[in-house]
Structure 1
């Protein structure tokens, strides 16, 4: 099993935890990696399934031979420190996004998410305003201390007990929908994959 970031890891953990409760002897190997590496690992059979984000651009190219099933849908939002007066707004004006660097989290030096953000955020005029961080904890720390803004997937943000950051939609922008996609080889679908997909799709794919 594989996952791209700490955000979709939450969905994978819940499903695998329930599966282990029902099948205590089940042995699992779980890896984290870039979308490119996960896709290749699923395609060559090294991974049975991986979770990735689709935002602005598909998780897979049109020529990919593996199956994509959306399991979760929500909106991308911007994290803003409560130390910043902008945090008291209900939406973040596009014109204020240049006040701080914008961060995104990716465990590997991959261009996948950068390209996704640029495709979904036409209000960003300079890609050099967006910076990758390799640690979700570091990203959150910088946002909380008002050193940066950051992209977060709504519904998969840090626990509500952390009140140092608020998550705001971008004003006058309706292009921020994302999905978390399950990537797997449809020709080699196993009973395990079927149970995982049943777990995710047993409820509405959309967020509550």
Structure 2
């Protein structure tokens, strides 16, 4: 079961999980709202505050530990920072056995692990990030994937702006590039819905 989490249903995480169990679903995947496409129309009313975002992802971490089915947080890059913070507190080593699929991937995969090709042949970092990285009718996809300046930039976490660029978790999180683009017009800007303060910033 896939479900977008927003203000109207963020209190129903456990209900959603129980529904998945009752329907004999094999997995529950939550998607944190990204303000693109039809999401733009509801963003002002439905985007979670950063503090609520943090709370929900911690709640999902707790749920995932007890879950009888597969769980996955998508478009939720903070989750991979939270998972490491919580595992460290618990003295747990993150492995596929202890944390399932989340142990084998990272936060934002735009242009690094996935991309999106439109029906016109346009190539974008992901389905939520409208930054053109090439066109398969003009250039082989393999070349676009390997050499696109947009993709090459996204693959350099040190180029991330603001606190994302300073964060010790940047290589496993990277922040949502689509949300950064929506808020600032810069897909490399800091994630606007993260409350975490990097260690380097705390020492200033």
TM score, norm. by length of structure 2: 0.28
From the two aligned structures, give the one with the greater helix fraction. Answer: 2
> Greater share of strand residues, 1 or 2?
1
Where relative contact order (Cα < 8 A, 6+ residues apart) is larger, the structure is 1
TM-score, normalising length: structure 1: 0.28
